[in-house]
A and B are shown apart, each in its own frame.
Chain A
Amino acid sequence: MDLLRLAPLRQFLRSRWYPTSFQVLTVGFLGLLLAFAFLGPDRGGRNLATVVTWTLWWPLLPISLVLLGRAWCAICPLAAIASVAQRLAPPVRQRVPPLVRRNGIWVMAFAFAGLTWIDRVSGITSAPRTTGIVLSLLLVGAVGASLAFQRRVWCRYLCPLGALSGLYAMAAPLALRPRRAECHQCAGKDCYNGSARASGCPLLEFPGNLDSNRNCNLCAQCLKACPAGTPAAPGAMELRLRMPGTELASLRHPLVGEAALALLMVALVYIQTVDMTAAWPQYMKWLLESSPAMGYALAFTGTLALTLLATLGTYAAAARLARGPGESTSQSFAAYGYAYLPIALAGHLGHNLSHLLYEGPRAVQTTLDELRIPLALVPPMDEGAAMTGINWPALLVVSLGIAGAVLTVWRVAGSRGQPLRRAWPHLALVGLWSLVYLTVFLLPMNPRHSH
């Protein structure tokens, strides 16, 4: 189904109001968050910056990615400010250095792992000033990259959330795709090169060949630039509504870096979740009492590093065992990695669903209080207390993710012309991770902000 056949939606996406009107709102809100981060109360649970950033926006981001693809990236305030800076500065002609192009996915993957590490060692989520510093550094990075390079190099190759966003967006039910027959007849390629109507794709993709959501942020520049598009005609692009997750098993160009990131996300979501349960302090007590000289930061770092390495190592072994005839390990590694994404994605959604359901209402109340809006919607709560009981919605989401992973293994095997029995190492590994995730999600979690 092509949503661009709906005239009001098509006209809105092609208008100058999209995505500008949303960007104005998000930029204004970012300014407010930065002001509160540096000038507001130095108390995580009561500061608008920490509450909105970590209790509302952070959990809503993966939900938005899985529903709307990378649409958030189109209205991201950092990118919007960077684009304005790029327009105001002297024109830059600098192309993306090959080093960045080749290794961007690894930079983004390890930057995201680094964010997890910094959070757990220094506690960003409950530190307003540190939150302000992190947001400012991201802004400096985005503006710096936009002044040095063409278009949105930051979003595509450097943003710590970029690779994750691209990966999660592949599972989304929305996909902007070209009508190839029309695109191949087009001589100007305005959707990439830009024209008087609109600039070219900011993420340096040629929309006429778009076959994945990984580098499409639904900014609609291609719709505006397409010479075949008029207010009355949809042009050469379609906004398709599809079954969620179908792209994961049908990629024409699976990438080793993305496959590795999918596995890293499985491990990171596991660590992020287990360290908020009662099992974590027991493990750390045992570890630190066994090796008293180690110290907390080193114990956490070692645990994180070993978990990531063990996850990649076991996956590499499974990829080697599941190789088809004449196939290299790296080809097998790249193809099956996406099958683990539903587990990470569901775990991420389930984890954040727990926070949203438990802390979200209180976070909304804190936002109203900080903005001096006299509206009492939620009574005070003991924010430091652990959530009790089983979070059934989160467990349901994780179960659906596991089913999605098994289905994707089966479909990847099918798309490669392999019998399912050849994929047994992946089915075994998915089974192992399923057990781990289900066990962890049965444990009560601590809230993100303590009081």
Chain B
Amino acid sequence: MRRWIIIALAAAAVLASCSSTGASDPNFPAFVYSSSSSLEGYRIAVRMPEVLEKMPCYCGCGKTNNHHSLKECFIKPDGSYDDHASGCDVCVKEAVDVDNWHRQGKSLAEVRRLLDAKYRDYGQPTDTAPVE
């Protein structure tokens, strides 16, 4: 029995370490919590909106939702949250990639180039201005 308790505690510790904590989360609306990846995406958007603003989104939302950058998939121009990214894997995957490349110390121009190269086959990008 004791062995099972230890295994359960170890599994809980691994799971806890796998998922970042929400101790500093702002008061997100409920739709943000639809999945683990959605929550991660909105956390990134809140942490680095000025970076996502410079990145295009390739999910097709430029046409369907009139978005102009990846930031608008998460945060509307008026500052409220957009529920679009909570149901869109592409937006979340792009945000995670941007976050990873940014953490690796790449410049905005490099991040943009990498994003364009990886997602250009996905569809029409938003009309985000090029990074100078």
Residues of A at the B interface (CB closer than 8 Å) are 41, 43-46, 120-121, 123, 126, 278, 280-282, 284-285, 288-289, 292-298, 300-301, 382, 384-386, 446-447, 450-451
Contacts and interface: CB of A to CB of B under 8 A. Distances in A.
B54 to A, nearest CB: 23
A289 B35 contact: no
A446 B84 contact: no
5 contacts: A46-B122, A120-B35, A295-B16, A296-B19, A384-B87
Nearest to B25: A292
A281 B32 contact: yes
Nearest to B87: A384
Interface of B: 12, 15-16, 18-23, 25, 28, 30-37, 39, 59-60, 64, 84, 86-90, 121-122
B88 A384 contact: yes
Contact of A296 (B12, B28, B36): B36
Contact of B35 (A123, A288, A293): A123
Given A282-B30, A295-B16, A384 B84 contact: yes
Contacts, number: 89
A386 B39 contact: no
A55 to B, nearest CB: 14
Nearest to A126: B89
Given A296-B19, A297-B19, A123 B88 contact: no
B15 A281 contact: no
Given A123-B89, A282-B30, A285-B28, A293 B16 contact: yes
A451 B15 contact: no
Contact of B20 (A289, A295, A300, A385): A295
Contacts of A301: 12, 15
Given A293-B16, A293-B23, A386-B87, A123 B37 contact: yes
Given A289-B22, A297-B18, A298-B19, A451 B34 contact: no
Given A285-B30, A292-B23, A293-B21, A298 B12 contact: yes
A451 B59 contact: yes
A384 to B, nearest CB: 4
Contacts of B32: 281, 285
A43 B120 CA distance: 12
Contact of B34 (A126, A297, A446): A446
A295 B23 CA distance: 9
B87 A281 contact: no
Contact of B90 (A43, A288, A295): A43
Nearest to A122: B36
Contacts of B90: 43, 450-451
A447 B88 CA distance: 11
Given A123-B36, A295-B19, A446-B34, 9 more contacts: A46-B122, A278-B30, A281-B30, A285-B33, A296-B35, A301-B15, A384-B84, A451-B88, A451-B90
Given A384-B87, A451-B88, A298 B16 contact: yes
A282 B86 CA distance: 13
B60 A297 contact: no
A300 B28 CA distance: 18
Nearest to B64: A382
Contacts of B12: 298, 301
Contact of A295 (B21, B33, B59, B122): B21
B16 to A, nearest CB: 5
A121 B38 CA distance: 11
Find the residue from B64, B90, B122 having the highest chain A CB count within 10 A: B90
Find the residue from B23, B32, B87 having the highest chain A CB count within 10 A: B87
Find the residue from A120, A285, A300 having the highest chain B CB count within 10 A: A285
A450 B20 CA distance: 23
Contacts of A386: 87
Find the residue from A45, A285, A294, A384 having the highest chain B CB count within 10 A: A384
